[in-house]
Amino acid sequence: MSSILTNNSAMVALQTMKTINASMTKTQSEISTGKSVASAKDNAAVWSISKVMESDVKGFKGISDSLSLGSSTIAVARQASETVTSLLTQMKGKIVAAQESNVDRGKIQTDIAALRDQIGSVVGAAQFNGMNLVNGSNTSVDILASLDRSSGGVAASSITVNAQNLSSGAYAAKGVLVGSDGASTDNDTAGFALDKAGGTGNIVIDDGTDAFAAGDKVSITIGGKVASYTVTDADVAAATPSDIVAVGLKQAVESLGIAGLELDYDSATPGQIAFTNNGTKDMTVSAQFTNAAAGGLGALSAIDVSTAGGAQAALGNIESLLQTSISAAASFGSAQGRIDTQSKFISDLSDSLKAGIGTLVDADMEETSARLQALQVQQQLSTQALSIANQAPQNLLSLFRG
């Protein structure tokens, strides 16, 4: 039935045109923005997920900057530790040369003092952005490493890098080894040779010159091994701290299990440990006192090869100092490797998140282009169809012409 009041064909054609125009508008939006989900109204669930992921990517950018800063800070500390190790190695060569009796130990001591000053310069200059991890001014540094998302929310995690004290400052002599064989001029180092098959020597612990403080330490190097005893608050409060330290040192040396070495402590001679070499190899005994406030290389200040006993003591003590610097460099190297690995992981993770976001919200431009072409044809056809439908009432006039 045809009607001049209601043009059903025109209404159908108009609705079709509106649908096509709406699709055309969406397609053109995808082309102009490059996104199939540009706002929450396009797809609320996908849009919200993409925004959370985008915020994580932004957070990881900050973490990447933090890791770069941390890696640079640790690299400076590692380089300083390696340089100190190299300088200590040079110092060891000087100390070995001082073992010969027909040398000018005074000139060798001058060279050692120059190397000690250079170590101090290296340690003092090893800072990055104001942070120094080798001079004892810091205990550790926390480097932001990751954002951990869970059902409970987001938490930041850090990599903690422990500082290493390579300072040689704050050393204070106490004359603790006075009376020991081969004691140095300040009586804080001592050293002597233990010839095989019966060689003897004595280390005497004496706190009479200056009382012990908690944290003071006495180390003994023998046969390439090191034993030490650190003074406690209880030791300081005891009636005879030197006896306690001597007994503790004797037990520490015995625990090294050095073949042929015999130690004896006679309470009638306070603080004295008697060493006897009943083995088949010559040994060298070196003792070193370090006060509680001294830096990790505080014993450097007590190295003095101007005497034969001091040279022998220095030979053992330099090994302990070398181990301190080597351990510091190894610790920083391990930490830097971990930080660099984490930095690469964060970079790869950010790229993966960006790719995931693109998969969720980016428009498929090939598909969008093809859809645009089809919609343009449909739009033209719908326009033609509406034009034809609008001509229908005009066609009804021909029925009433005579």
Domain 47-168+329-354: give its CATH code: 1.20.1330.10
C-alpha 62/C-alpha 359 separation (Å) is: 24
Domain segments of the chain as ranges: 47-168+329-354, 189-293
Task: Answer whether residue 209 shows pLDDT above 70.
Answer: yes
Percent of the chain at pLDDT > 90 equals 24
pLDDT classification of 200: cutoffs 50, 70, 90: very high
- As a whole number of angstroms, the longest Cα–Cα distance in the chain is 151
The phi-psi region of residue 187 (left if phi > 0; otherwise alpha if psi is between -120 and 50; otherwise beta) is: left
Tokens of 52: 């959370």
Question: Over the stretch 96-119, which tens digit does the pLDDT of each residue have?
Answer: 999 888 888 889 999 999 999 999
pLDDT tens for each residue of 267-323? 778 889 999 999 898 888 888 888 887 777 877 877 888 888 788 888 878 888 888
Estimate to the nearest angstrom the gap between the alpha carbon of 181 and the chain centroid.
43
Residue 72 has a pLDDT of 92
Give the DSSP letter of residue 202: E
DSSP type of residue 302: G
Percent of the chain with pLDDT over 70: 99
Q: Is 120 left (phi over 0), alpha (psi -120 to 50) or beta?
A: alpha
Per-residue pLDDT averaged across 201-206, rounded? 91
Model pLDDT, residue 250: 92
Say how many Å lie between the first and final Cα of the chain, rounded. Answer: 22
- Report residue 202's pLDDT band, with 50, 70 and 90 as the boundaries: very high
Cα dist. 290→24, 128, 228, 303, 312 in Å? Answer: 83, 29, 11, 12, 17
pLDDT at residue 246 tops 70: yes
Q: Nearest 5°: CA angle at 349, between 344 and 352?
A: 130
Give the per-residue pLDDT at 205.
92
User: Mind listing the pLDDT tens digit for each residue in 45-97?
Assistant: 888 888 888 888 888 888 888 899 999 999 999 999 999 999 999 999 999 99
Averaged confidence pLDDT in the chain: 86
Determine the average pLDDT of the residues in 198-209: 88
For 353, the token pair is 């998140």
Looking at residue 316, its pLDDT comes to 75
**190 pLDDT above the threshold of 80:** yes
The answer, yes or no, to whether residue 402 has pLDDT greater than 70, is no
Residue 401, pLDDT above cutoff 80: no
Strands 261-265 and 140-150: unpaired
What is the pLDDT averaged over residues 112-134? 91
Q: How confident is the model over 333-350, as a mean pLDDT?
A: 91
Fold agreement (47-168+329-354, 189-293): no
Please indicate whether residue 136 or residue 264 has the higher confidence score (pLDDT).
Answer: 264
Nearest Cα to Cα of residue 311 among 179, 192, 165, 137: 192
Q: Which residue type does 132 have?
A: N
- 189-293: what CATH class? alpha beta
47/231 Cα distance (integer angstroms): 64
**Among 98, 134, 97, which residue's Cα sits nearest to residue 119?**
134
**More reliable by pLDDT, 396 or 102:** 102
